Chain A
């Protein structure tokens, strides 16, 4: 019985594992150290945002403005680094200033959604357009690069053969896991997502919970953006447009249903890793450009439809 519930809940995950297994069987050279390291780095950057998206989905909301917020984070971080980046304190200041702005975007999202009582996806879609427009106005559509040495070291540096960025991700995973599992706050997020009315009756400040997840999303977009800048040493509105959808896909693949109230951040770590193994695998098979894009879209389509179908049947 337990096996059956497991299979039912984690069907998407099993399908993914099967796919990867088949791919490795046909192309054993895919399993190389460089590939694994690259997957880890990419997964770390998007993973931070995916964790926040998971928290939001558990609380019963999601954020489509994450991509734009992420783009803004890169752009503004590069801009600030170029302005202040000569000293250690300046770099810290640039980082904190950037985090403040991205969190502010999240806070505005939260305020609009909680106070205006409008659906999260519409509000965040509108916000996404606003932030994108703002990024374009700020940069006139150009890429903005930085040659900061500290950032370069962060991006290239490794400890025991693993990138610093992966350690940062791991640390954030531990924090997120602890908060969601062992604190009153984490549990009230689960309660809010499971049944907001019941949670409110139980004395949980539902609106504060919902509001806080959007602030967390903004913060995470900022951290992801900073990590991305370490990797690319540039920021542009064109980078990371698929972030929000990849995060939703990673969450669902990991086994957190879109219905809310269930799931865990640890599952998402697995989900984001699997998604990146798949993406890398597709590129490895020679699918480039728009075919790659098409398959990413199909993956999301299948994963979300499947999840919706399974959760519907369960009720």
Chain B
């Protein structure tokens, strides 16, 4: 009898370990709704989904580099750069008299944004592949890239804030209603397919779990790492375009803090920051948790500076939890 309950207990613990995030979202929602019932309105939920869809796209890219045993701290600046370039293009091609932006430009900026991200990712990935950097080094390399790319974004607009010169048009639609959420889901689906159905995806997991072994198994480690960084950059570039469309302005500060949020989402979702483990679905759950948590704090009128503290605590807590979990799993396997 005792054995059965033990078994059931273990199952519950195992379930919580894997999918405890869903419970966390429910708890956050319940608490926030109790204090401010407006939290559980359809409009509020859609708002959360819409405003966190860009962070979500960036997080999915981040998840790729983290699964591969790396990290990309430059995405914040990539988003800023992509955002300011997007705004410049859209404003330059808008019909000034009618304040309508051109639909061709809207399609163009999607490609330009993604291309900018890919370029930054390529530089990141190429450097990391050439020097064969370990995690600490890829950390600093991408951190340095963040400074460089951020300064580039400033140089592009000379540090000036860019307001939208248009009032309507296809580009504006990118940020309205469920459109950003659809973008997010499409990106998630594509990235999930790449991760699970291609040789590259499997290699990425292998690489993140044990780089030396992957090398010995004949995997082109440098190539896989470069591709993961390029994909991460592409996600960030796309996120930059969508952010501009949502907030109707662009500044060099647009992407500030995105790398932290993305890292937090990935860590909360249960993707191991040590690499080799995790999935897109878990990342999405992480995004939802962070989105619900921060919005709940907003509604409870916790100021944004204090929310920075929450983010830091959440990252550290998530990583410690991951380490504890891993140890527990190892113990169970040994049994």
User: A residues touching B (Cβ–Cβ < 8 Å)?
Assistant: 62, 64, 112, 116-119, 121-123, 125-134, 136-137, 140-141, 242, 245, 248, 258, 289-291, 293-294, 296-298, 300-301, 304-305, 308-309, 312
Contact = CB atoms under 8 A, between A and B. Distances in A.
Given A132-B308, A308-B137, A112 B151 contact: no
Given A118-B319, A126-B311, A305-B133, 20 more contacts: A62-B136, A112-B320, A118-B320, A121-B139, A122-B319, A125-B260, A126-B313, A129-B260, A130-B316, A133-B307, A137-B303, A137-B309, A242-B147, A290-B155, A294-B155, A297-B148, A300-B140, A301-B148, A304-B137, A308-B141
A130 B136 CA distance: 21
A245 B132 contact: no
Nearest to A116: B320
Contacts of A305: 127, 130-131, 133, 141
B14 interface: no
Contacts of B150: 293, 297
B319 A296 contact: no
A270 to B, nearest CB: 20
Nearest to B326: A117
A290 B253 CA distance: 13
B66 to A, nearest CB: 10
A288 B323 CA distance: 44
Given A258-B137, A308-B132, A308-B133, A136 B308 contact: yes
- Report which residue of B148, B312, B320 has the largest number of chain A beta carbons within 10 angstroms of its beta carbon: B312
B294 to A, nearest CB: 13
A118 B305 contact: no
B274 A119 contact: yes
A290 B137 contact: no
Nearest to A298: B148
Contacts of A64: 143
A134 B311 CA distance: 12
A294 B147 contact: yes
Nearest to B259: A125
A301 B311 contact: no
A129 B315 contact: yes
**Interface majority SS (helix, strand, loop, mixed), chain A:** helix
Interface string B187-219: 000000000000000000000000000000000
B330 interface: no
Contacts of A293: 147, 150-151, 154
Given A62-B136, A117-B323, A293-B151, A128 B316 contact: no
Nearest to B137: A308
**Interface majority SS (helix, strand, loop, mixed), chain B:** helix
B22 interface: no
B312 A300 contact: no
B152 interface: yes
A131 B151 CA distance: 25
Contact of B144 (A118, A290, A301, A309): A301
A127 B136 contact: no
B147 A118 contact: no
B37 interface: no
B323 A133 contact: no
B239 interface: no
Nearest to B303: A137
B306 interface: yes
Interface of B: 127, 130-133, 135-137, 139-141, 143-148, 150-152, 154-155, 159, 260, 263, 273-274, 303, 305-313, 315-316, 319-320, 323
A129 B310 CA distance: 9
Nearest to B135: A119
Nearest to B77: A297
A297 B145 contact: yes
Contact of B159 (A117, A126, A290): A290
Nearest to B317: A126
Contact of A300 (B147, B308, B315, B319): B147
Contacts of B273: 118-119, 122
Nearest to A135: B305
Contact of B306 (A112, A133, A312): A133
Contacts of B306: 133, 137
A291 to B, nearest CB: 7
A126 to B, nearest CB: 4
Nearest to B151: A294
Contacts of A309: 130-131
20 contacts: A116-B319, A116-B320, A118-B323, A126-B316, A129-B315, A133-B309, A137-B305, A289-B159, A290-B155, A293-B147, A293-B150, A297-B151, A301-B127, A301-B141, A301-B144, A304-B140, A304-B141, A305-B141, A308-B132, A312-B132
Nearest to A252: B140
B148 A294 contact: yes
Contact of B309 (A134, A289, A296): A134
B23 to A, nearest CB: 23
Contacts of B309: 129-130, 133-134, 137
A133 B263 CA distance: 17
Contacts of B312: 126-131, 133
A118 B267 CA distance: 12
Nearest to B310: A133
A301 to B, nearest CB: 4
Nearest to A237: B305
A112 B318 CA distance: 12
Nearest to A248: B140
A276 to B, nearest CB: 17
A232 B319 CA distance: 38
A291 B260 contact: no
Nearest to A294: B151
